């Protein structure tokens, strides 16, 4: 009871403080966030509310998803622009961590640490988390990036001014400035495919079905089955981004 | 384009540890370093001017006009580095048309216009109106036209209307001080509110930005005053200069304390990002943070100015030292902005590695471009000093108004 | 009110009026309909061109290979995993007679060692054996340096497809 009260007053305090500080959105303060629990109580109770699941145990690091993403979405081929990429984490016996992602994993991985030094090693595919309280849409000064009703974060190419504030605000490094267009670019969860009833390219192409996605509002959906039957976690839950990209078997070392 | 890719490949080959692939390109370059730097100079110069006007420190009178015009000149340029850095500069107007209320950056256009038009412009206008009317009668040609235009073709310079001007000017200054705080504290908030970046994300950021802004603005006006007096072969008012230096000393202490507090807090709480930032500070940022910003930009001026509070060398020597200090402080604060803006992008948000930054010479984001945006305000200032020389004004004692 | 204040107010009002007019004129038409963004950006995003085809569209012409593949280890793989995006191919290739297919419509035919080791190179992060129920993926891995590196006489590297059919490895 007491706890409830302090929570409320803190909330009020934050609301007043942020309003004073320049009318900064308070949505992120109002809804509680607990990694996985967040998926169970979805903010948007009506319609489709997309969530993504990636099973780290199934990923073989072939990089086909990163490659397919680039080809499907005309992402520049140079290794500085990715909507989706794969990282290899290697925890060594001495406790140090090696992270690699040569060309985002598109050309495959060469094991750089000898077997005898490895404590464990695994692949982590990365992509936009399509956060429900996304820090990137919060900071866009003109409203050129936004969340759709289905919970997909999109970019309005024709309206983006290229200020790069959203690139700074994304904790996951999922945005880049398209070198030819001068505007920001990011994963759209293949919105153009979704709207035709198709799966996003990376989901379509994954040879081991390590990636699934679906409607978090539908209790029978694949994503809900995945979340219920695996130990899932999001990356950087402490940042309260409302991430909807859930990983099975995510090590806390992954950032 | 090709050059850009080549540079990126070079950066890629130098990456230390692991950075997200999209982080290899450093997104906010030297131009974004200039933005808080220039707005800081504006806010600082204005606050120095208001010390004379509101707080009635009349000994600062010789720098009042210079400070105002300096603030105005830099304010005119403040948005230029930002706009020239945009991926789509022609769309910059959108920030005024559809400002996003939750974005810290969106309000900038309005804060900027408010400060430029309502505070700086009005204060200068009311301060100079009588003189412009008089000068319009004494000059011909372009100058006469400018005076007429700027005074909006008014002619009324009766003591009553001048007294009114003076009163409104005072009110504008009173509004101006919180506005200056708002302008620069707000620039700090743009960085301080990015929770993804632990180097930026601190509540102290707006306050630190504000006080470092005051330091840099006051140092700038001090330097300009010394140089201007040399050029005009006028005797420098050492009382005025010593007073500026004293205020500089006080604010420098606050600034140093705040930044120290920020760092001590970081070290003591040692959050998840601590090891990554520690390596950054003692690695790539060591020279700009400890040597330039810390030693030459803060500690050396602090010690010198502190010594001057007890022991004052001859005026000639003091003058030179003040000039040197003002340059040192200006460089120091520039690198303070550098350490914040560039430093915040050198480490990966994964905390597993570091990228690097090399400023090119040419191109939209090279240092020539940056140099232009630093030189242009001085050209504007020269023009304004030619058009509206504060030393030719009829003396109005701002202090008398409220007494 | 003194004359100069009046003029100043007029100047500022003009400025403000100009701003308000511009604001009205320049605001994009569908802005704000669904939130603080251009509502039309949603259909624009949905209209982007596709490159990867719909699942199963290969069977129409390549049914034989497909059924061969479905019997082997690669049965769960879509054709485009190895052959690349095929929407253009699937849409237009039917118009051309055998052999007349223009290069722009040809799909990638992987056959080099590098194509196979992208998945099958030995790597500590790839699960080698199915040792419990959680790890459901098993993938055959080879060390490309040791696994039949090449002809001992000619020094020419073997291709994986010399021994393994990619459709039924």
- Does the complex come out with an ipTM higher than 0.85? yes
Outline where DSSP puts E strands in A71-128.
Answer: 84-92, 97-100, 118-127
Q: Distance between CA B58 and CA B72 in Å, rounded?
A: 21
**pLDDT of amino acid A4:** 43
Q: CB contact, 8 Å: A30 with chain B?
A: no
Give residue-wise pLDDT tens across range B184-209: 888 899 999 999 999 999 999 999 99
Asked if C22's CB is within 8 angstroms of B98's CB, the reply is: no
Element (H, E) at C4: helix C3-26
Give residue-wise pLDDT tens across range C81-130: 999 998 888 888 888 877 778 888 888 888 888 888 898 888 888 865 44
Give the closest of B98, B152, B168 to C11, CB-based. Answer: B152
Neighbours of chain C (3+ CB pairs under 8 A): A, B
Asked if A158's CB is within 8 angstroms of C41's CB, the reply is: yes
Structural domain boundaries in chain A = 1-30, 42-255
Q: CB contact, 8 Å: B130 with chain C?
A: no
Give residue-wise pLDDT tens across range B358-390: 887 777 778 888 899 999 999 999 999 999 998
**pLDDT of amino acid A22:** 42
- Please identify among residues 34-63 of chain C the ones whose CB lies closer than 8 Å to any CB of chain A: 34-38, 41-42, 44-52, 54-55
Concatenated DSSP letters of B244-260: HHHHHHHHHHHHHHHHH
Give the closest of B100, B125, B156 to C36, CB-based. Answer: B100
Asked if B86's CB is within 8 angstroms of A142's CB, the reply is: no
- N- to C-terminal Cα separation, chain B: 64
- Write the Ramachandran bin of B29: left for phi over 0, alpha for psi from -120 to 50, otherwise beta: beta
Is residue A142 very low, low, confident or very high in pLDDT (cuts 50, 70, 90)?
very high
Asked if C54's CB is within 8 angstroms of A198's CB, the reply is: yes
**pLDDT of B275 higher than 50:** yes
Give the closest of C31, C46, C81 to A64, CB-based. Answer: C81
Phi, psi of A147 (to 5 degrees): -100, 135
Asked if A161's CB is within 8 angstroms of B86's CB, the reply is: yes
**pLDDT of amino acid A11:** 46
Average pLDDT, chain B: 90
Residue C129 C-alpha from the chain's centroid: 29
Percent of chain B scored above 70 by pLDDT? 98
Interface test with A, best of C47, C83, C126, C144 (most A CBs within 10 A): C126
Q: Distance between CA C36 and CA B309 in Å, rounded?
A: 55
**pLDDT of A26 higher than 70:** no
Asked if A201's CB is within 8 angstroms of C45's CB, the reply is: no
How much is the average pLDDT of B321-349?
A: 95
Asked if A79's CB is within 8 angstroms of B12's CB, the reply is: yes
- Please identify among residues 116-155 of chain C the ones whose CB lies closer than 8 Å to any CB of chain B: none
Give residue-wise pLDDT tens across range B230-259: 999 989 999 999 999 999 999 999 999 999
**pLDDT of B396 higher than 80:** no
Element (H, E) at A85: strand A84-92
Give the count of Cβ contacts less than 8 A between chain A and C.
Answer: 131
CA angle at A95 for the pair A91 and A97, rounded to the nearest 5°: 40
Give residue-wise pLDDT tens across range A203-255: 999 988 899 999 988 888 999 999 999 989 999 999 989 899 999 989 989 98
Asked if C7's CB is within 8 angstroms of B97's CB, the reply is: no
Give the closest of C5, C11, C23 to B97, CB-based. Answer: C23
Give residue-wise pLDDT tens across range A150-171: 999 999 999 999 999 999 999 9
**pLDDT of B296 higher than 50:** yes
**pLDDT of amino acid C94:** 80
> Is the CATH number of domain A42-255 1.10.10.10?
no
Give residue-wise pLDDT tens across range A58-72: 898 999 999 999 999
The residue of chain B with its CA nearest to that of A141 is B106
């Amino acid at each position: 009871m007491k706890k409830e009260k302090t929570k409320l007053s803190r909330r009020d305090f934050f609301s007043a403080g942020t309003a004073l500080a320049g009318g900064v959105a308070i949505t992120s303060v109002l809804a509680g966030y607990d990694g996985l629990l967040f998926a169970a109580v979805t903010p948007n109770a009506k319609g489709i509310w997309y969530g993504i699941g990636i099973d780290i145990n199934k990923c073989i690091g072939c990089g086909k998803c990163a490659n397919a993403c680039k080809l499907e979405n005309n992402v520049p081929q140079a290794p500085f622009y990715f909507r989706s990429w794969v990282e290899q984490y290697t925890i060594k016996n001495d406790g140090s961590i090696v992270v690699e992602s040569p060309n985002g994993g598109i050309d495959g991985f060469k094991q750089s640490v000898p077997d005898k030094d490895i404590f464990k090693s695994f692949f982590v595919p990365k992509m936009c988390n399509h956060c429900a309280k996304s820090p990137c849409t919060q900071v866009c000064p003109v409203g050129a990036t936004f969340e759709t009703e289905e919970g997909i974060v999109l970019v309005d190419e024709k309206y983006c001014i290229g200020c790069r504030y959203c690139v700074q605000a994304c904790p996951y490094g999922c945005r880049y400035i398209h070198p030819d267009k001068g505007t920001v670019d990011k994963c759209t969860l293949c919105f153009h495919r979704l709207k035709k009833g198709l799966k996003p390219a990376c989901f379509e192409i994954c040879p081991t079905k390590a990636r699934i996605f679906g409607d978090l509002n539908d209790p029978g959906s694949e994503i809900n089955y995945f979340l219920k039957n695996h130990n899932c976690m999001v990356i950087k839950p402490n940042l309260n981004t409302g991430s909807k990209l859930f990983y099975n078997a995510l090590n806390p070392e992954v950032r | 384009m090709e050059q850009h890719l080549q540079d990126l490949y070079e950066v890629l080959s130098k990456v230390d540890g692991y950075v997200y692939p999209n982080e290899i390109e450093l997104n906010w370059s030297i131009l974004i370093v200039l933005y808080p730097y220039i707005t800081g100079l504006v806010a600082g110069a204005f606050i120095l001017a208001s010390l004379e006007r509101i707080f009635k420190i009349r000994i600062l009178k010789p720098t009042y006009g210079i400070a105002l015009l300096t603030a105005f000149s830099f304010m005119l340029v403040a948005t230029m580095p930002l706009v020239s850095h945009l991926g789509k500069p022609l769309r910059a107007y959108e920030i005024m048309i559809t400002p996003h209320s939750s974005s810290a950056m969106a309000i900038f256009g309005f804060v900027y216009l408010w400060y430029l038009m309502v505070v700086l412009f009005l204060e200068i206008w009311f301060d100079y109106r009588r003189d412009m009317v008089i000068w319009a009668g004494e000059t011909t040609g372009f100058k006469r036209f400018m005076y007429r235009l700027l005074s909006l073709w008014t002619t009324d310079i009766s003591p009553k209307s001048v007294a009114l001007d003076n009163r409104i000017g005072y009110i504008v200054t009173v509004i101006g001080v919180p506005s200056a705080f708002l302008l620069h504290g707000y620039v700090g908030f743009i960085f301080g509110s990015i929770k993804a970046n632990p180097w930026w994300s601190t509540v102290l950021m707006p306050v630190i930005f504000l006080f470092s802004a005051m330091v840099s603005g006051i140092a700038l006006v001090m330097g300009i005053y010394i140089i201007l007096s040399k050029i005009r072969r006028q005797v420098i008012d050492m009382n005025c200069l010593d007073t500026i230096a004293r205020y500089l000393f006080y604010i420098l202490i606050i600034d140093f304390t705040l930044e120290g507090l920020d760092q001590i807090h970081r070290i003591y709480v040692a959050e998840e990002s601590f090891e990554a930032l520690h390596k950054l500070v003692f690695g790539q940022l060591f020279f700009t943070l400890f040597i330039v910003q810390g030693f030459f930009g803060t500690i050396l001026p602090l010690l010198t100015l502190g010594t001057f509070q007890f022991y004052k060398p001859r005026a000639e020597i003091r003058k030179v030292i003040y000039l040197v200090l003002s340059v040192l402080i200006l460089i120091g604060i520039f690198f303070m902005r550098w350490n914040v803006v560039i430093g915040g992008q050198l480490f990966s948000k994964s905390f597993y590695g570091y990228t690097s930054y090399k400023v090119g010479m040419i191109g939209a984001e090279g240092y020539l471009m940056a140099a232009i945006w630093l030189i242009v305000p001085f050209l504007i200032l020269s023009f304004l000093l030619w058009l509206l020389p504060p030393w030719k004004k009829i003396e109005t004692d701002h202090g008398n108004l409220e007494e | 009110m003194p004359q100069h204040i009046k003029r100043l107010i007029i100047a500022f009002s003009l400025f403000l009026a100009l701003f308000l007019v511009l604001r009205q004129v320049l605001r994009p038409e569908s802005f704000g309909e669904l939130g603080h963004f251009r509502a039309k950006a949603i259909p624009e995003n949905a209209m982007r061109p596709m490159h990867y085809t719909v699942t199963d569209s290969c069977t129409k012409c390549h049914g034989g290979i497909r059924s061969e593949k479905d019997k082997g280890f690669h049965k769960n793989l879509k054709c485009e995993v190895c052959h690349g995006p095929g929407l253009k191919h699937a849409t237009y290739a039917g118009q051309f007679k055998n052999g007349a297919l223009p290069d722009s419509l040809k799909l990638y035919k992987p056959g080099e060692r590098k194509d196979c080791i992208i998945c099958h190179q030995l790597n500590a992060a790839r699960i080698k054996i199915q040792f419990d129920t959680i790890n459901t993926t098993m993938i055959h891995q080879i060390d490309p340096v040791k696994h039949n590196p090449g002809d001992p006489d000619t020094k020419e590297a073997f291709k994986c497809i010399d021994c393994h059919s990619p459709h039924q490895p």
